[in-house]
C-alpha cells in the first residue's frame, strides 16, 4: 500500500512538473513569437526571467526592458495625458522598447570597455552626480526620493543604478579616451582659439565663430549663472578656480575640449555663483569605439 502511495506521489510530482514545463514553453513562445505583454507575462518573467539579449556573455533580461518601459510610461503620464492603448500609443511604446534595448546593449558594451581600461565609479562620485542630475529631471533635491517614486515608480537606488551610474560611467570613459588619445584636429583648433584669445580677440566673438555648442555660440558662449554644485564634475573645480575675467586652459568633458571664461563672480552669495561662458571644440571618440565594438562583439538579440 505504501509503495502504491509513493508511486502516486511521484506521478503527481511528474505531472505537475510537466504542466509547469509546458506552461513555461507556452509563455516563452508567446513572449518571443507572439509579443505577449500583459500582467500574466509580467508575473511569469519575475519567476522565470528570459533574455532579451546577450552581449559578450552578459544577459539583458526582458524583465529589465519592461521595467524601463514601465518607468517611461509613468514619466510620460506624469507630464501629460497620453493614451498608450491607442494605435499611436502602441507604436510609440514599441519604438521606445527598441530604444531601451539598444541603450541597455550599449550600456553593456560601455561596462566592458570600463573593465578593460580600469574605469570605476566611486560611491561618493555617484551621490555627487546624482545631485547634479536631479535638476535636469526637474526633481527637487530636497524631496528627490518621493519625486523619483512618483515620476518613475523607482526607489532612489534604482534610479541611480539605471540612470545615474551608466551616464557617469559613459562620461568618465569619454574623458579618459580623450586623455589617452587626444584628437589632433580638435587640439589644433583649440590651440588656434587660445592663441587668438592671447592676442586680445574678444572671447564672445570667438565663441560665435568657432564653438561647436549650437545653443551657446549665438549668446557669445554664455552658459548662465552657476553655483559650484550646479556644474558637471568636469567643470566645477576648473571653473571656480578662475577669477572674474580669467580664461581657463583646455578642459576635457564627454563632449570634447572646452575653453572656459568666468564673466562675473558673486562670492558674497551663499553659495557663491559665477557667470560662465565657454567655447567647445567637439570630439567624441567613444561613439567611434562603440561602433567598432558593435561590429566585433558577440551580440545576440532575441526577436
Higher pLDDT, 8 or 263: 263
pLDDT at 50: 83
- Which tens digit of pLDDT belongs to each residue from 97-126? 999 999 999 999 999 999 999 999 999 999
pLDDT tier, 193 (very low <50, low <70, confident <90, very high otherwise):
very high
Largest interatomic CA distance in the chain: 104
49-179, CATH topology level: Triger factor/SurA peptide-binding fold (1.10.4030)
Place of cell 526577436: 303
184-283, CATH topology level: Chitinase A; domain 3 (3.10.50)
Burial class (CB in 10 A: 0-12, 13-18, 19+), 230: middle
φ and ψ at residue 269, rounded to 5 degrees: -75, 160
pLDDT at 303: 57
What residues does each domain of the chain span?
49-179, 184-283
**Nearest residue to 235 via CA among 205, 219, 257, 216:** 257
- CA dist 77 and 303 (Å) reads 28
Are 83 and 89 within 8 A, CB to CB?
yes
pLDDT tier, 39 (very low <50, low <70, confident <90, very high otherwise):
low
φ and ψ at residue 276, rounded to 5 degrees: -115, 140
- Which tens digit of pLDDT belongs to each residue from 226-244? 999 999 999 999 999 999 9
Res. 19: pLDDT tops 60 = no
Beta-bridge partners for 225: 275
- CA dist 250 and 218 (Å) reads 21
pLDDT at 83: 85
pLDDT tier, 297 (very low <50, low <70, confident <90, very high otherwise):
confident
Percent of all residues in the chain with a pLDDT value above 90, rounded to a whole number: 73
pLDDT tier, 298 (very low <50, low <70, confident <90, very high otherwise):
confident
φ and ψ at residue 249, rounded to 5 degrees: -75, -165
- The pairing of strands 299-301 and 256-266 is unpaired
Res. 10: pLDDT tops 50 = no
- Which tens digit of pLDDT belongs to each residue from 153-175? 999 999 999 999 999 999 999 99
This prediction's pTM: 0.81
- Which tens digit of pLDDT belongs to each residue from 144-157? 999 999 999 999 99
Question: Residue 182 corresponds to which cell in the numbers above?
Answer: 587626444
pLDDT at 52: 87
Are 212 and 221 within 8 A, CB to CB?
no
**Nearest residue to 233 via CA among 107, 117, 123, 133:** 133
Amino acid at each position: 500500500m505504501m509503495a502504491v502511495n509513493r508511486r502516486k506521489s511521484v506521478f503527481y510530482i511528474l505531472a505537475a512538473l510537466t504542466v509547469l514545463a509546458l506552461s513555461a514553453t507556452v509563455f516563452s513562445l508567446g513572449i518571443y513569437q507572439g509579443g505577449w505583454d500583459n500582467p500574466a507575462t509580467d508575473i511569469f518573467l519575475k519567476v522565470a526571467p528570459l533574455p532579451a539579449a546577450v552581449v559578450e556573455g552578459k544577459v539583458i533580461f526582458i524583465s529589465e526592458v519592461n521595467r524601463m518601459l514601465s518607468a517611461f510610461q509613468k514619466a510620460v503620464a506624469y507630464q501629460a495625458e497620453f493614451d498608450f492603448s491607442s494605435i499611436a500609443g502602441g507604436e510609440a511604446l514599441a519604438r521606445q522598447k527598441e530604444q531601451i534595448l539598444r541603450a541597455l546593449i550599449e550600456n553593456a558594451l560601455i561596462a566592458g570597455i570600463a573593465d578593460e581600461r580600469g574605469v570605476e565609479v566611486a560611491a561618493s562620485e555617484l551621490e555627487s552626480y546624482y545631485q547634479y542630475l536631479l535638476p535636469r529631471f526637474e526633481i527637487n533635491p530636497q524631496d528627490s526620493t518621493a519625486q523619483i517614486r512618483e515620476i518613475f515608480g523607482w526607489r532612489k537606488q534604482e534610479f541611480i543604478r539605471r540612470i545615474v551610474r551608466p551616464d557617469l560611467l559613459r562620461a568618465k570613459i569619454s574623458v579618459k579616451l580623450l586623455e589617452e588619445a587626444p584628437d589632433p584636429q580638435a587640439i589644433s583648433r583649440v590651440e588656434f582659439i587660445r592663441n587668438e584669445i592671447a592676442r586680445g580677440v574678444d572671447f564672445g566673438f570667438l565663441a560665435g565663430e568657432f564653438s561647436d555648442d549650437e545653443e551657446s555660440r549665438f549668446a557669445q558662449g554664455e552658459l548662465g549663472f552657476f553655483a559650484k554644485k550646479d556644474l558637471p564634475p568636469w567643470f566645477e573645480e576648473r571653473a571656480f578656480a578662475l577669477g572674474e575675467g580669467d580664461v581657463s586652459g583646455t578642459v576635457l568633458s564627454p563632449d570634447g575640449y572646452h575653453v572656459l571664461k568666468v564673466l562675473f563672480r558673486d562670492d558674497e552669495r551663499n553659495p557663491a555663483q559665477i557667470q560662465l561662458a565657454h567655447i567647445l571644440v567637439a570630439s567624441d571618440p567613444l561613439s567611434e569605439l562603440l561602433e567598432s565594438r558593435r561590429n566585433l562583439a558577440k551580440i545576440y538579440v532575441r526577436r
